[in-house]
């Protein structure tokens, strides 16, 4: 794979560093399940190890191609991150009661260091990193967000598939693309429900494979070639090959604000409000025609649609959020008890008014949660680069001792 060059502005490295420090001490991105009373410090340490291993693998992949160093700083950074992860794991290991597991993980880490030093296939490094990461996350009961952060576009997914994947996997995913016969093993039959069906797999399973590829096969890693959004789009597109009624994940406005701008989050909010209004109108119309039960059902649909923006609204203006929730429930209640039409209509108006107010708020600024997610976006996009710069500096200062520094096996 071609090494992708980072061309972010190099200003405010210090600020980025502070943001990274904040990220590392925050709990919001990860959703730890504390059922096993794992202490927060360990969870934070696990998160760091997971991130560092991911970064190490990513840097290695960009720094070494076909057994040769193509971008020396990236290769060296991968060693630094790996060494960091190994040191942190040594401190963490006391908290893993199963000593066999500790030994296994430790050997895997040493093995990764060996692969990196031997400039082995980056897919092998990824495979080891992924295996350790999932083991670590499972051991500490930590979950990572495994759903897309932007609304899925199947139209986009189709385009991406046809320009990147069709050549091997074929137009309808039957594994019969024009180049398919060239490869051993041959391209996967993506229309096989075993590989992409809702009953057997999750979208995230496919997403991961597409990201990291499959070692020693023609299936390359698409992370870095396609953006995460594009990979999610193509992931859901290939799932249409075996699922007749593909279920797309719900819109998450907060997370959408990461990838898009606050502006786009506002547009999404407007779409949701339009949907809610449409359903409210419909419910009132149906009520007018005397079908109370149907009207109540549609009113409930309106409330469900509203829920997509409810938490965002509550973050902005708690009392407005709470009062909307209550007027929605009164609206349904009045429909159910066959209240006079005027009464039901006035509640409908009240909801519409409050929705307008809410929409203005959601369009205006991002609010605290949005700010958090936006800072998070900065961290994801630029913060890693700051780590890399710092690591590069460290690598520079320690250049003389580098070989011994990374050579430690414990």
Q: Are 52 and 81 in contact (CB under 8 A)?
A: yes
Name the minimum Å distance from CB 118 to ligand HEC. 23
Give the interface segment with ligand HEC, choosing from 215-223, 254-262, 275-283, 347-355 (CB under 6 A). Answer: 215-223
Beta carbon nearer to ligand HEC, 232 or 328: 232
Q: Are 247 and 198 in contact (CB under 8 A)?
A: yes
Cα separation of 114 and 111, whole Å? 5
Give the interface segment with ligand HEC, choosing from 64-72, 135-143, 213-221, 380-388 (CB under 6 A). Answer: 213-221
Cα separation of 407 and 113, whole Å? 9
Give the interface segment with ligand HEC, choosing from 71-79, 89-97, 212-220, 308-316 (CB under 6 A). Answer: 212-220
Among 43, 56, 112, 210, indicate the residue that binds ligand HEC (CB under 6 A): 210
Length of the chain counted residue by residue: 410
Q: Does 236 bind ligand HEC (CB under 6 A)?
A: no
Name the minimum Å distance from CB 108 to ligand HEC. 22
Cα separation of 24 and 44, whole Å? 7
Among 75, 222, 241, 372, indicate the residue that binds ligand HEC (CB under 6 A): 222
Q: Does 339 bind ligand HEC (CB under 6 A)?
A: no
Q: Does 123 bind ligand HEC (CB under 6 A)?
A: no
- Which H or E run contains 26? none
Q: Which residues contact 365 (CB under 8 A, 6 or more apart)?
A: 262
Name the minimum Å distance from CB 140 to ligand HEC. 27
Cα separation of 168 and 188, whole Å? 9
Q: DSSP assignment of 91-139, as one string?
A: HHGGG---HHHHHHHHHHHHHHHHHHHTT--HHHHHHHHHHHHHHHHHH
- Which H or E run contains 35? none
Among 83, 206, 240, 242, indicate the residue that binds ligand HEC (CB under 6 A): 206
Name the minimum Å distance from CB 47 to ligand HEC. 27
Residues 150-169 that bind ligand HEC (CB under 6 A): 164-165, 167-169
Angle CA(95)–CA(101)–CA(105) in degrees, nearest 5?
A: 95
Give the interface segment with ligand HEC, choosing from 65-73, 144-152, 216-224, 267-275 (CB under 6 A). Answer: 216-224
End-to-end CA distance of the chain: 32
Name the minimum Å distance from CB 126 to ligand HEC. 14
Beta carbon nearer to ligand HEC, 42 or 123: 123
Candidates 269, 281, 278, 280; CA nearest to 360 is 269
Beta carbon nearer to ligand HEC, 205 or 350: 205
- What binding mask, one character per residue, do residues 165-204 give for ligand HEC by CB under 6 A, x or -? x-xxx-------------x-xxxx------x---------
Name the minimum Å distance from CB 216 to ligand HEC. 8
Name the minimum Å distance from CB 249 to ligand HEC. 17
377-383 LR contacts (CB < 8 Å, sep 24+)? 377/257, 377/258, 377/259, 378/16, 378/19, 379/16, 379/19, 379/20, 379/23, 380/258, 381/8, 382/8, 382/16, 383/16, 383/19, 383/20, 383/23
Name the minimum Å distance from CB 213 to ligand HEC. 8
Beta carbon nearer to ligand HEC, 187 or 358: 187
Packing angle of the helix pair 341-364, 262-288 (nearest 10 deg): 170
Q: Is the dihedral of CA 130, 134, 135, 140 positive or negative?
A: positive
Phi-psi region of 66 (alpha: psi -120 to 50; beta: other; left: phi over 0): left
Q: Does 53 bind ligand HEC (CB under 6 A)?
A: no
Among 209, 327, 339, 392, indicate the residue that binds ligand HEC (CB under 6 A): 209
Among 129, 152, 219, 314, indicate the residue that binds ligand HEC (CB under 6 A): 219
Kindly determine how many residues on this chain lie close enough to bind ligand HEC according to the rule CB under 6 A. Answer: 21
Among 96, 214, 390, 392, indicate the residue that binds ligand HEC (CB under 6 A): 214
Contact positions toward ligand HEC, by CB under 6 A? 164-165, 167-169, 183, 185-188, 195, 206, 209-210, 214, 217-219, 222, 234, 238
């Amino acid at each position: 794979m071609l090494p992708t060059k980072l061309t972010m502005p190099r200003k405010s490295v210090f600020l980025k560093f502070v943001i990274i420090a904040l990220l590392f001490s925050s709990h919001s991105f990860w959703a730890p399940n504390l059922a096993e009373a794992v202490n927060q410090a360990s969870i934070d340490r696990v998160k760091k190890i997971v991130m560092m291993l991911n970064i190490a693998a990513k840097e290695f992949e960009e720094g070494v191609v076909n057994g040769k160093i193509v971008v020396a700083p990236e290769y060296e950074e991968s060693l630094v991150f790996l060494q960091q992860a190994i040191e942190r794991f040594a401190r963490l290991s006391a908290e893993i009661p199963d000593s066999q597991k500790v030994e296994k993980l430790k050997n895997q880490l040493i093995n990764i260091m060996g692969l990196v030093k031997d400039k082995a296939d980056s897919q092998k490094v990824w495979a080891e990193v992924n295996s350790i990461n999932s083991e670590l996350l499972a051991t500490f009961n930590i979950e990572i967000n495994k759903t897309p952060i932007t609304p899925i576009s199947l139209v986009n997914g189709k385009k991406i598939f046809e320009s990147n994947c069709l050549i091997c996997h074929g137009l309808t995913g039957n594994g019969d693309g024009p180049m398919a016969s060239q490869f051993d093993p041959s391209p996967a039959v993506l229309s096989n429900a075993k590989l992409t069906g809702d009953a057997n797999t999750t979208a995230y399973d496919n997403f991961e494979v597409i990201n990291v590829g499959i070692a020693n096969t023609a299936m390359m890693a698409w992370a870095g070639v396609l953006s995460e959004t594009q990979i999610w789009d193509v992931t859901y597109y290939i799932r249409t090959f075996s699922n007749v009624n593909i279920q797309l994940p719900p819109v998450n406005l907060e997370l959408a604000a990461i990838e898009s701008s606050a502006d786009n989050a506002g547009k999404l909010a407007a779409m949701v409000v339009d949907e809610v209004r449409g359903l409210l109108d419909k419910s009132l119309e149906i009520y007018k025609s005397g079908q109370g039960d149907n009207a109540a059902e549609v009113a409930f649909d309106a409330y469900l649609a509203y829920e997509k923006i409810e938490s965002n609204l509550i973050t902005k203006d708690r009392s407005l959020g709470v009062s909307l929730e209550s007027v929605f429930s009164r609206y349904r209640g009045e429909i159910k008890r066959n209240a006079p039409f005027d009464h039901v209509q006035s509640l409908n108006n009240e909801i519409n008014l409050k929705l307008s107010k809410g929409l203005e708020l959601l369009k205006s600024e991002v609010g605290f949660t949005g700010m958090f997610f936006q800072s998070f976006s900065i961290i994801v996009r630029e913060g890693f680069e700051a780590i890399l710069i710092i690591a590069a500096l460290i690598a520079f200062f320690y250049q003389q001792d580098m070989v011994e520094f990374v050579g430690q096996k414990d």
